[in-house]
Structure 1
Amino acid sequence: MDMQAAAERSDAILDDVLREIRPELRWTHGPTTVGSCDVSRRRVVMTDISASRRGNLLGVVDRFWRTRGYRMTVVNNDAEFPAIYARTSDGFGVRLRIGGQGQAFFQVDTPCVRESEVADSTSQATAPLYEGMELIPRPNIHSDFWSAQTPEVGVTARGD
C-alpha cells in the first residue's frame, strides 16, 4: 500500500463513522500531514456539542468502532476533554477527542506505507472549508440535538 491508498483508506474510515452518527454532525477537513512513511487525515466537527451531549457522541463512536472490530487502545474519561483511541485490524490508528468549547476532532493515522504523493481528500465536507484561513474556528453550527444542554439517553449509531 502506498501513501495515497492509505490516505483513501483513512478517508473511508472517517466517512463511515461520520455517516453513522445521527443526527448528522457538520464537519470540515482538518490538515493532512505526511510523515516519512505515514499519513494523518483529520476532520474537525463544526457542530456545537454541549457538555451534556459529549458522552452521547463518544458512546456512539465507541460502539460503532467496536462493531467494526476495532480494538480500543485508550479511553480518556476526562470531564472536559474526553477522548477515545482505537486501532483497526489493518493497523490504522483512529481517534475522537473533544477539545476547547466542545469541538470534536476525528483523526486517522496510517501504518508505515510506501512513499508516494498524497492528494487532498475527495470526501465532501458538510461545513465550510475555511480555505485561506490560518485556523479553523471553534464550533459555530447549532444542532437542536447535539447543542442541547440536557443529556439524552439511548442514542445509537444508525443501524443499531
Structure 2
Amino acid sequence: MTSLRLVPIAIILTLATGCSATSGIGHPEGNTSDMDMRRAAEEADAIMQRTLSGVKPELRWNHGPSNDKSCVNGNNDSSGTGSVKRRIAIMTVVSKERRGNLLGVVERDWNARGYRITSVRASSEVPAIYAATPEDFRMRVAVGGEGQFFFSITTPCFTESAVPDPAVEPNTPQRAGDYPPRPDVHDEFWSSNAPLPTSSSSAS
C-alpha cells in the first residue's frame, strides 16, 4: 500500500524506535491469551502511550471518551465478549504546514513497531492513517475540525469485564465544556507556519 508521503521529516522529529515492545502499563505485545476487556484496555492505553512517545517535540494531549461494547456471534446474540475504544485529543496546535510531518512521524513509528498500515485517507483537509497491531488492535490518527489531531484505538473482542478509566495522567489539564476541546497549546515547532526546509532529513 502506498504510504502517506507529504513532506520530508526534520531532524528534530526523532523517533523512539529503539523502545521495548513492553511498557509500564499493559501487557507485552503478542501475549493476549489471558486478556479480558480490562487488560485489553490497559494494553490499548500502553500502545497509545508508545505512539505518543515516538513524537518529538512532545505533544500536549488529553483523554477523549472511552467506550466499551458487547460483541455478538453470527446469530446476533451476546458472545460473552466485548471490545474497548480509547481516544486521545491533541491539545497542541499543529499548523497546516506541519500536519504532514506529524502524520509521517506516526506512520514511521507504527511501521517500525511492526504494525500494519491498513488504510490511508489522503485528504488535504482531513487526512488519516489506519493501522493494526499483530494482535488486531486497530489504531487511527486523524486530522479533524480546525486541524486538530486525534488518536484512537479499538481492541479485539475479549472476555467481558469491568473497564476502568485510563490510568495514565494526561500532560495538560482537562478543559471544561463539550468534547472535543479545541487545541490551545502553542508549540514553537508544531505550531509554526514556516515550512520545513527541503534539505531536512529524518534522524537515524
Scaled by the length of structure 1, what TM-score is found? 0.93
**Residue 20 of structure 1: how far off its partner (Å):** 1.3
Q: Pairwise CA RMSD of aligned residues?
A: 1.4
What secondary structure does 1:128 align onto? coil
Matched with 1:46 is 91
Change in CA separation of 1:65 and 1:116 when aligned onto 2, cut-off 3 Å: same
Matched with 1:135 is 179
- CA deviation vs aligned residue, 1:51-84 (integer Å, no higher than 9, x gap): 1000000000000000010010111110110100
Gapped runs of 5+ residues in structure 1? none
- After the TM superposition, which segments of 4 or more aligned residues of structure 1 sit over 3 Å from their partners? 153-156
- CA deviation vs aligned residue, 1:120-144 (integer Å, no higher than 9, x gap): 101120111236x332321111011
Gapped runs of 5+ residues in structure 2? 1-34, 71-81
Pick the aligned partner of 2:195 from 124, 130, 151. 151
The aligned runs of 1:83-94 (5 Å cut-off) are 83-94=128-139
Measure, in 1, the Cα distance between the counterparts of 2:107 and 2:201. Answer: 12
Pick the aligned partner of 2:107 from 62, 66, 69. 62
Count of aligned pairs: 157
For the 8 Å contact 1:42–1:108, the answer to whether it is kept is yes
Matched with 1:24 is 58
Q: Residue 33 of structure 1 aligns to which amino acid in structure 2?
A: N
The sequence identity of aligned pairs, in percent, is 46
What secondary structure does 1:118 align onto? coil
Q: Residue 120 of structure 1 aligns to which amino acid in structure 2?
A: D
Scaled by the length of structure 2, what TM-score is found? 0.74
